[in-house]
Chain A
Amino acid sequence: MPGMAVQGYLVLSVVLFVIGLAGVLVRRSPLVMLMSIELMWGAAGLLFLTFARLWAGMEGHIFSFLIIVVGAAEAAIGLALIVLIFRTRDAADVDDVRALRG
């Protein structure tokens, strides 16, 4: 009965994940990269909810809540680092951040 619906969510989750991964790899604006990472996390959360429905268990629900909570903390630290690094220089692009090499 829920088979069809589950398949739809699965596909959506994979699409979101691939968009997120491609965004991190292709885009060079740190904010967009952070958003892409959040998209990847969100895709994983959606996948957990989908499978929680399939298995009719609570683990997936709990896991997706954990992803939301930890994701918020992660975003806070990421934004703080972005502010810290880009306030002191005119760079708006991660390719400009390259004092460390080798």
Chain B
Amino acid sequence: MPDISDLMQIAPLVALAAVALLVIVVDLMVPARMARGTILVTAAGGLLVVGWYLLDLWSQVVPLPEFAARALAPFGGALALDGLSFAASALILAAAFFAVLLSTTEQARDMSGYVSLMLLAALGMMVLAGTSDLMVMFVALEVLSLSLYVLVAFRRGDAKAREGAFKYFLLGSVAAGLLLYGFALLYGVTGATKLAGIAAFARQGTIGPLYHAGFALVVIGFGFKLALAPFHTWAPDAYQGAPAPVTAFMAIGTKAAAFVALARFVWAAVPSDPVLAAAYLTPIGVLAGVSMLVGSLGALFQTNLKRLLAYSGVAHAGYLFLPLMSLTPEAFGQSLFYLFAYLCMAGGAFAVLVARSVEAGGDAGAAADAAELSGWRGLYQRRPGLALATALFFLAMAGMPPTAGFTGKLFLITGGIEARAWWLLAAMVASTGISAYVYLRVAGSVFRSPEAEAAAVAEMGPVPGAHLSGSHPAGAVGIVAGTAPSPLAWERVAVGAVLLLAVAGILLLGLFPNLLLPGLQGLLPVR
């Protein structure tokens, strides 16, 4: 039976749900003039409180003897409170915090609904990463998916947003159907909806075709959510249609939560028989390898930054699986470390995108223009700081030292070598080579001389909005009051804070990986 200690153990989740509701109440209580700011401050402050609860709880339960056995399971085992769920929750909260800060530039008409849905999606992600029960996993997955379907379509009157949301919804629902059917088959074979029961069956039971089918369907279902190729087709459209903060949140949060849940599932459900285990892991490896190649090849010809980051996200999702091929606790730490690195790299890249759309005017059309890479040329001459940050984020994605992208890839490759997944390593090297071209092209284009751009602008004639600050000579020192439709200063402070945090994270994790890595290893028990 649930008792008070169970409730205390899920304090961060309860607090997050409360903040999501509080945001709506706040919208009703404060005058409309101040509503936007109050909502965003409430959400950001609420996320900090939730993070504080999380860290406090973490430090409280670590010394407990039952936590040492990694078996703190409130609500009769419906939730799994272990180091893995804490680490993943911290990652998801950080992504949500980034997204809320970036949302200060968002001109949504229903701001409280927007922020509330974002927080609810974060709640779904945290539960998804922290459960070992198929039922809770399904509900959490749907909480986050349903919130994101709506968020992608949130820009009113934007046909691209609606189309992206519709495609995301259609493929997401089919994926949920496949996942459910897989869960049902596994329940039928094992008689358990808890991963512990499935793991016990996988060690001792006779594995039949129904079990194979169930496992395959679950992996495919998660593959859709993680945007693994060939189930990635929704990602570029949904990423392009969604507002940039939502895209950032989807890219980081969903990837982390779905990857952790899939890893937990694979951990439990892969049979202990080595031949069968290889037969179960090889298709997952093939999915990962295909994702790496499709992601990096697809990114080659993109002119839109959001689509480019979507394809790069497909490739990055593939990289995560490299250490998982050996199913050791150390290997999982390497994947988690890369997720933290990806948080900084992708969060930073999307923050640059948001900063550019603020610069260009802040409305939906300007935001769409800011995502087009052709407008990024000569950014260094106008905004040197922003251009240097852009270069850092894309160099990190390409895996250049001394960034987190380099150390992260190094750990992944170490994990791959330990797992002896040679062909997957080959795919990763090929994919890294191809995508290095993509990322370096972006990083290089911001340093191109503005003369080329000026010529292009002159050719095209005066374009309102998109090139406003570019063609303005005073743009070099930032936006002079009056040239842009005066975005509030604190919006720029918020975006700048995200940029600074991302840069600091990339450099810190790149130079001192031991700050984080030891804490991430051994989070799952030895199989």
Contact = CB atoms under 8 A, between A and B. Distances in A.
A55 to B, nearest CB: 4
A97 B163 contact: yes
Contacts of B372: none
Contacts of A59: 135, 187, 192-193
Given A73-B142, A99-B160, A100-B237, A44 B165 contact: no
Interface in B142-168: 142, 146, 149-150, 153, 159-160, 162-167
A47 B307 CA distance: 38
A81 B166 contact: yes
B183 A44 contact: yes
A20 B166 contact: no
Contacts of A84: 153, 162
Contact of A37 (B177, B188, B193, B241): B177
B381 interface: no
Given A70-B142, A74-B142, A37 B240 contact: no
A87 to B, nearest CB: 10
A47 B134 CA distance: 15
Given A41-B180, A50-B188, A78-B173, A63 B135 contact: yes
B138 interface: yes
Interface size class of B (residues with CB under 8 A): 35 or more
B108 to A, nearest CB: 15
A30 to B, nearest CB: 8
A100 B191 CA distance: 44
Nearest to A56: B191
B181 A73 contact: no
Interface in A10-47: 13, 17, 20-21, 24, 30, 33-34, 37, 40-41, 43-45, 47
A98 B176 CA distance: 24
A17 B181 contact: yes
Interface in A58-102: 59-60, 62-63, 66-67, 70, 73-74, 77-78, 81-82, 84-85, 88-89, 94, 97-100, 102
Contacts of A66: 135, 138-139
Interface in B84-107: none
A83 to B, nearest CB: 10
A62 B135 contact: yes
A48 B174 contact: no
B10 interface: no
Contacts of B159: 88-89, 99
Contact of A40 (B153, B169, B181): B181
Contacts of A33: 170
Interface string B230-253: 000000110011000000000000
Given A30-B166, A74-B173, 9 more contacts: A44-B181, A51-B191, A60-B187, A63-B183, A66-B138, A77-B150, A81-B165, A89-B159, A100-B236
Q: Give me the 9 closest cross-chain CB pairs, A-B, nearest first.
A: A40-B177, A44-B180, A51-B188, A47-B184, A100-B237, A55-B191, A85-B162, A37-B173, A59-B193
8 contacts: A30-B166, A33-B170, A44-B184, A47-B184, A51-B184, A77-B150, A78-B173, A99-B159
